[in-house]
Amino acid sequence: MSNNTPLIPILDHIVVLVSHKTLLGIAEHIEGQFFLAPGGDHADGLTTNRLILLPDGVYLELIAFFDDIDPERRQQHRWGNEAEGTIIDWAFTLPTESDFKLIQKRIGDADTEFSYTDPIPGGRTKPDGTVLKWAVCTSRDAQGSTVAPGSLPFWCLDRTPRANRVPYEVEPYLTQHPNGVQGVLSVSVQIPASDTSKFKGAYDGIFGGDWRYQVPSGFKSSQHSVSLTEGERSIHLVFRGPRPGQVELLPGLLLRIESA
């Protein structure tokens, strides 16, 4: 892709960390609100997940660390020290892995101290035996240290068909949730006030213009936007749906629904 060609990030998924016990019982908790899709165990042997697929092609990843893993290995994982029961991270994707070079260039040209790693292989095996492969790119600061999860999005770039990883079109019944949620309308990232200016430069680089994203289904909305707010580090979502209000994803984790 030419550097002059507009490249708009595609919102891929939102990561919610839960305990393994919570994950095993999550179907009962969200019954009557959401349908669950199968997930699987990740290649590193540390985590397992279940998915909530949305009609716009974005999904919520409910992820848990296995209880019997080495605590030191968990602590070394980028999500190992995050609070369970919260949204901890979020990911963009792109049409092709090669497109990511343009994102790296934008970040390099931006007024920011941050950068992204080159793609790092990852994957998991679905319960039916399907092997999924992808590459992940995470953010680093000027010293090369990992940026706190969620402060900047990471990138999930498929090396096997995305439809295998996110079968929202193959199994559309899994996206027809009882609460009517249709997709993710907006993402708000809350960071300490002292960090606002340096993160703003990074987001300017990511988007190369307005802070707006696409969704995999191609549904377009002027409200598909990312914003920064000041406060304790956290991530907030607004869902799109026909019945405005709130929905409880986990005990204490309420998400807003607005009509687009």
pLDDT of residue 72: 95
Identify whether 207 is part of a domain: yes
231: left (phi over 0), alpha (psi -120 to 50) or beta: left
pTM for this structure? 0.94
Collect all residues with Cβ–Cβ distance below 8 Å to 108 and sequence separation of at least 6: 115, 205
In the chain, the number of structural domains is 1
Per-residue model confidence as pLDDT tens digits over 45-63 = 899 999 999 999 999 999 9
**Which residue type, as a one-letter code, is found at position 168?**
Y
Q: What is the mean pLDDT of residues 85-114?
A: 95
pLDDT of residue 5: 56
SS3 of 93-152: the string is ECCCHHHHHHHHHHHHHCCCCCEECCCEEEEEECCCCCEEEEEEECEECCCCCECCCCCC
pLDDT of residue 2: 44
Per-residue model confidence as pLDDT tens digits over 105-141 = 999 999 899 999 999 998 888 888 889 999 999 999 9
Q: What are phi and psi of 231, to 5 degrees?
A: 155, -170
Identify whether 2 is part of a domain: no
Identify whether 15 is part of a domain: yes
Q: What's the domain range around 204? A: 10-258
pLDDT of residue 4: 52
Is it the case that residue 143 has pLDDT exceeding 70? Answer: yes
Q: What is the CATH number of the domain that holds 202?
A: 3.10.180.10
Considering the chain, what percentage of its residues have pLDDT values greater than 90?
85
**Which residue type, as a one-letter code, is found at position 84?**
E
Using 50, 70 and 90 to split pLDDT, how confident is the model at 252? confident
Per the CB < 8 A criterion, the answer to whether 64 and 125 are in contact is: no
* First-to-final CA distance of the chain: 31
Is it the case that residue 40 has pLDDT exceeding 90? Answer: no
pLDDT of residue 1: 47
Identify whether 244 is part of a domain: yes
